[in-house]
């Protein structure tokens, strides 16, 4: 029953004077896009095919202009998924499913009967599923909490599917989301028997057949060896279906590459644990994703960095140089096929690995060509600095480049590269002297060694450079960065200071909704800071697939409220009976009240954005979000999310970019640059750090070595800070080596603020009100502030009381409180201008 309290923390009434809510524009009808929406959809449409990855192809696609009759199959035809569930779901005004998109583009669908039958199967199975998951609970609240993110596995069925026409497309969807991990069972990671049978039969029976994956992450495709055309469409937000039609018709072409390895489930590493309730041991250390497959010499179906287009490319290394510590290579890429296309070139580094164990290779740079017509070429220059990819040596607490030969490889996938240079380092270089900060995971990381050998002839044919040791200067980290607290902040009362470091709470009766919607100034925004000393509150709204706000809302004297009640984001898992039981909590909206709309543009999910390997596309998406933040008066976007795809089973992987930290950091920086060029629009990178599973996410302890933390799980954050100065960071729910990340002064102050030189604010993930009833305690607001976190979210009376009590008990000093209060105060002041 304790969990029940969580809800009342968020919806308890508490009177306070509110600002006049911002008058949002989208007042007109629901169906008609406004200018900003049309403009944003058009922009995304220009790039979206770049996020799709062609895994297999023959010459059957694109279709010819006269091939307009088409058979459509699969769960993704009518229930096309634009993004995942949970706080990452974004409300766009319009969305066409795949069937509608083909029809509106002039295609005749030959399988309407099949699709109608499938709808019936789905409805029946879904009804059964809801009955089943709710039957264990006697009240809807417990059911919602425990079933958050629960999704039905694709059902088995037997519907006749006689061949009609020459062309068939099967769209296979899988949804996932916050609160629940994916499972290795049929209908989720594995294909159902029905899917295997149907897809193989259709592939044989039709003249032209394409399998399309409308999923946020990998599905085990191993039973589909004979399928010749496979496209990872991914989930592209509002343009998902139109993009598919454009690719099938040849108006566009795929040019994305995988940012996570797709292979049969048995191939994925089982060295570390996943999904344990309390403790998860990251025994694989740095061997995550391709670092594992390449080092353990595992053959995979579709490697990291792999993706085909409709055309073919040939690449040639033009020249390679070492200038100081910067290696650069010029590669020319020629379109040798018959269609237009774009190619991605990737640079990998193999380190000597003599004293420190090293992965076979790591990604150090990438770039994408411009669009190339047949026979046309483009030359890309790829460069990187060796010191940026030094290895962390825990024994000496330093980043080092050990002596030996470093091999640089260039190619269009991690498994299709050629050596383009060698760099010799004569004796060990210490790049940075730090301190170990992250505790002991309780085990030694695994070590792996690939047996692959580079041919001597090849090595002899590429340039070999010797690095001058003097080109890298050892940097010694200090940990005493300070922040100036203004007299204005010092003059505030202790109550005002405490209010600043706790998200605004209990301000309005029946305030908006629960999950990620605790703000009252902008309906459906996830949270806001308190109004102290006439400061404007800082409004925070979720992402990452766009700006998440309530689509319908009304305004009264207490603020802006969603019309769909406090449980809107959670009730999908309830039976009608349970829904009815909580309907009394829905807002009583007086007749005649004006209902306003806030529609935002759903952009591609994080993984899809990264799959474009196109920084410009990420910046353009950031720009769209930044524009909408200005329109709806939101200052902090709770995105980008850049946790690493450690296991394909993590339920929120779709929000994240990759199994590789370099591309994760670069895409984060690119999107941040797009958002933050807007006035008073800033990003919040999340979830810092090692938040790699959803199961028991508030209390789960990730045991990770200092080296793996630094080289894999923190690296993307470090890169993004360096490249784009994000304004805010959200800590994660989980613990790292026994300490909650938000209570870790080492993670927040020492590493983030000092080592990475982060200058912004640090907020917790949405914590308030969770019960302290598990193996690991929940984090407390006073500890978070002591660790130099700035604001405890979403905020509750209990958190506020906790701060004042800690002051009284000398568990928190006034200086510590002022430091965090000042950072929130200063940001609130900044956005006033």
Q: Taking CB under 6 A as the rule, does residue 638 contact ligand BGC?
A: yes
Name 330's bridge partners. Answer: 319, 381
Which of 367/542 has CB closer to ligand BGC?
A: 542
The CB-side HSE value for 312 (13 A sphere, CA atoms) comes to: 7
Q: Minimal distance in Å, beta carbon 178 to ligand BGC?
A: 6
Which of 359/516 has CB closer to ligand BGC?
A: 516
Q: Minimal distance in Å, beta carbon 526 to ligand BGC?
A: 4
For CA atoms 126, 131, 132, 133, the dihedral sign is positive
Q: Minimal distance in Å, beta carbon 788 to ligand BGC?
A: 20
Q: Minimal distance in Å, beta carbon 389 to ligand BGC?
A: 29
Distance CA 9, CA 582 (A): 17
Which of 400/525 has CB closer to ligand BGC?
A: 525
Which of 37/542 has CB closer to ligand BGC?
A: 542
Which of 155/606 has CB closer to ligand BGC?
A: 606
DSSP string, 310-352: SS-EEEEEEEEEEETTEEEEEEEEEE-SSS-B--EEEEEEE--
Q: Which of 694, 765, 816, 818 binds ligand BGC (CB under 6 A)?
A: 765
Q: Is 423 helix (H, G, I), strand (E, B) or coil?
A: strand
Burial degree of 584 (CB within 10 A; 0-12, 13-18, 19+):
exposed
Q: Taking CB under 6 A as the rule, does residue 343 contact ligand BGC?
A: no
Distance CA 33, CA 41 (A): 10
**What x/- string results for residues 484 through 523 when contact with ligand BGC is judged by CB under 6 A?**
--------------------------------x-------
Q: Minimal distance in Å, beta carbon 698 to ligand BGC?
A: 9
Contact 511, 518 (CB under 8 A): yes
**What x/- string results for residues 672 through 691 when contact with ligand BGC is judged by CB under 6 A?**
--------------x-----
Distance CA 526, CA 192 (A): 37
Which of 666/793 has CB closer to ligand BGC?
A: 793
Q: Minimal distance in Å, beta carbon 686 to ligand BGC?
A: 6
Question: Which among 524, 490, 599, 528 is positioned nearest to 822, based on CA atoms?
Answer: 490
Residues 234-273 that bind ligand BGC (CB under 6 A): none
Q: Taking CB under 6 A as the rule, does residue 658 contact ligand BGC?
A: no
The site for ligand BGC, by CB under 6 A, has a size of 8
Give me 480's structure tokens.
């005493």
Shortest-Cβ-distance residue relative to ligand BGC: 516
Q: Give backbone dihedrals phi and psi of 303, rounded to 5 degrees, phi first.
A: -75, 165
**What x/- string results for residues 532 through 561 when contact with ligand BGC is judged by CB under 6 A?**
----------x-------------------
User: CA separation (Å) from 44 to 243, 250, 337?
Assistant: 10, 18, 26
Which of 212/609 has CB closer to ligand BGC?
A: 609
Q: Minimal distance in Å, beta carbon 640 to ligand BGC?
A: 11
Distance CA 362, CA 345 (A): 14
Q: Minimal distance in Å, beta carbon 765 to ligand BGC?
A: 5
Distance CA 563, CA 618 (A): 33
Which of 528/749 has CB closer to ligand BGC?
A: 528
Q: Which of 54, 211, 236, 526 binds ligand BGC (CB under 6 A)?
A: 526
Which of 87/361 has CB closer to ligand BGC?
A: 87
Q: Taking CB under 6 A as the rule, does residue 87 contact ligand BGC?
A: yes
Question: Which among 389, 303, 398, 297 is positioned nearest to 352, based on CA atoms?
Answer: 389
Neighbouring C-beta atoms of residue 192, cutoff 10 Å: 19
455-462: long-range contacts (C-beta < 8 A, 24 or more apart)? 458/418, 458/419, 459/407, 459/419, 459/422, 462/320, 462/419, 462/420, 462/421, 462/422
Q: Minimal distance in Å, beta carbon 87 to ligand BGC?
A: 4
Report the run of H or E that residue 200 belongs to, with start and end.
Answer: helix 193-205
Which of 130/636 has CB closer to ligand BGC?
A: 636
Distance CA 496, CA 498 (A): 5
Which of 357/564 has CB closer to ligand BGC?
A: 564
Distance CA 739, CA 666 (A): 28
Q: Taking CB under 6 A as the rule, does residue 710 contact ligand BGC?
A: no
Name 501's bridge partners. Answer: none
Q: Give backbone dihedrals phi and psi of 281, rounded to 5 degrees, phi first.
A: -100, 115
Which of 638/807 has CB closer to ligand BGC?
A: 638
Distance CA 813, CA 215 (A): 49
Q: Minimal distance in Å, beta carbon 326 to ligand BGC?
A: 37
Q: Minimal distance in Å, beta carbon 548 to ligand BGC?
A: 8
Q: Taking CB under 6 A as the rule, does residue 73 contact ligand BGC?
A: no
Q: Minimal distance in Å, beta carbon 638 to ligand BGC?
A: 4
Q: Which of 73, 766, 780, 792 binds ligand BGC (CB under 6 A)?
A: 766
Give me 81's structure tokens.
């998924």
Total residues belonging to the chain = 833
Which of 517/785 has CB closer to ligand BGC?
A: 517
Q: Minimal distance in Å, beta carbon 545 to ligand BGC?
A: 12
Which of 401/547 has CB closer to ligand BGC?
A: 547
Q: Taking CB under 6 A as the rule, does residue 89 contact ligand BGC?
A: no
Point out which residues bind ligand BGC (CB under 6 A). 87, 516, 526, 542, 638, 686, 765-766
């Amino acid at each position: 029953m304790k969990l029940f309290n969580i809800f009342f923390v968020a919806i308890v009434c508490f009177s306070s004077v509110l600002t006049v809510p911002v008058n949002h524009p989208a007042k007109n009808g629901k169906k008609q896009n406004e200018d900003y929406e049309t403009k944003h959809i058009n922009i995304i449409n220009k790039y979206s095919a770049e996020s799709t990855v062609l895994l297999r192809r023959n010459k059957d696609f694109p279709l010819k202009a006269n091939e307009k009759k088409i058979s459509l199959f699969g769960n993704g035809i009518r229930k096309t998924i634009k993004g995942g569930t949970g706080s990452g779901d974004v409300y766009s005004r319009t969305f066409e499913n795949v069937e509608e998109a083909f029809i509106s583009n002039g295609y005749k669908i030959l399988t309407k009967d099949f699709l109608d039958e499938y709808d019936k199967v789905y409805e029946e199975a879904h009804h059964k599923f809801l009955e089943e998951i709710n039957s264990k609970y006697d009240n809807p609240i417990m059911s919602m909490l425990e079933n958050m993110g629960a999704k039905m596995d694709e059902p088995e069925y037997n519907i006749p599917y006689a061949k009609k026409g020459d062309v068939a497309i099967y769209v296979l969807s899988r949804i996932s989301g916050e609160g629940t991990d994916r499972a290795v069972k049929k209908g989720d990671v594995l294909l159902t028997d029905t899917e295997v049978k149907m897809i193989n039969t259709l592939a044989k029976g039709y003249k032209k057949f394409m399998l399309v994956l409308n999923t946020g992450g990998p599905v085990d495709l191993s039973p589909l060896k004979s399928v010749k055309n496979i496209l990872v469409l991914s989930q592209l937000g509002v343009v998902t279906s139109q993009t598919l039609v454009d690719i099938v018709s040849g108006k566009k072409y795929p040019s994305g590459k995988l940012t996570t390895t797709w292979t049969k489930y048995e191939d994925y590493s089982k060295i570390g644990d996943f999904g344990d309730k309390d403790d998860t041991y990251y025994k694989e250390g740095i061997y995550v994703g391709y670092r594992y497959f390449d080092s353990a010499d595992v053959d995979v179906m579709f490697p990291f960095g792999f993706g085909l287009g409709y055309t073919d490319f040939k690449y040639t290394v033009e020249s390679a140089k070492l200038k100081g510590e910067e290696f650069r290579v010029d590669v020319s890429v020629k379109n040798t096929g018959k269609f237009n296309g774009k190619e991605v070139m990737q640079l990998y580094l193999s380190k000597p690995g003599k004293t420190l164990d090293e992965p076979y290779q790591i990604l150090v740079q990438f770039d994408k060509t411009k669009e190339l017509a047949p026979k046309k070429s483009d030359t890309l220059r790829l460069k990187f600095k060796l010191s940026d990819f030094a290895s962390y040596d825990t024994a000496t607490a330093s980043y080092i480049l050990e002596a030996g030969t470093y091999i640089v490889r260039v190619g269009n996938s991690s498994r299709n590269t050629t050596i383009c240079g060698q760099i010799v380092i004569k004796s060990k270089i210490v790049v940075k002297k730090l301190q170990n900060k992250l505790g002991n995971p309780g085990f030694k990381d695994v070590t792996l060694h690939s047996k692959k050998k580079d041919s001597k002839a090849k090595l002899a044919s590429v340039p070999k450079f010797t690095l001058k040791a003097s080109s890298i200067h050892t940097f010694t980290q200090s940990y005493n960065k300070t922040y100036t607290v203004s007299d204005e902040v010092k003059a505030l009362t202790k109550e005002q200071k405490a209010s600043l470091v706790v998200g605004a709470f209990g301000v309005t009766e029946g305030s908006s909704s629960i999950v990620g919607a605790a703000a009252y100034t902008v309906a459906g925004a996830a949270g806001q800071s308190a109004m102290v000393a006439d400061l404007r509150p800082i409004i925070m709204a979720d992402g990452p697939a766009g700006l998440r706000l309530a689509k319908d809302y009304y305004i009264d004297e207490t603020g802006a409220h969603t019309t769909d009640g406090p449980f809107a984001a959670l009730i999908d898992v309830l039976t009608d009976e349970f829904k009815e039981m909580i309907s009394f909590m829905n807002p009583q909206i007086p007749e005649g009240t004006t209902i306003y709309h806030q529609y935002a543009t759903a952009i591609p999910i994080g993984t899809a954005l990264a799959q474009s390997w196109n920084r410009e596309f990420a910046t353009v998406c950031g720009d769209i979000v930044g524009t909408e933040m200005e329109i709806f008066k939101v200052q902090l976007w709770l995105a980008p999310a850049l946790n690493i795809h450690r296991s394909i089973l993590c339920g929120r992987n779709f929000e994240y970019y990759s199994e590789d930290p370099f591309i994760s950091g670069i895409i984060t920086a690119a999107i941040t640059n797009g958002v933050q060029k807007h006035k008073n629009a800033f990003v919040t990178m999340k979830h810092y750090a090692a938040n790699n599973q959803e199961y028991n996410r508030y209390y789960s302890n990730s045991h990770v070595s200092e080296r793996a933390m630094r080289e894999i799980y923190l690296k993307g954050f470090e890169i993004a800070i360096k490249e784009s100065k994000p304004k805010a960071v959200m800590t994660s729910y989980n613990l790292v080596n026994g300490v909650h990340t938000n209570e870790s002064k080492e993670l927040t102050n020492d590493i983030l603020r000092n080592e990475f030189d982060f200058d912004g604010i640090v907020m917790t993930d949405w914590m308030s009100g969770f019960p302290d009833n598990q193996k690991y305690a929940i984090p407390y607001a006073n500890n978070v502030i002591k660790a130099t976190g700035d604001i405890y979210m979403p905020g509750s009376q209990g958190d506020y009381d906790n701060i004042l009590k800690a002051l009284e008990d000398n568990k928190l000093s006034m200086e510590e409180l002022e430091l965090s209060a000042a950072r929130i105060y200063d940001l609130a002041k900044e956005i006033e201008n």
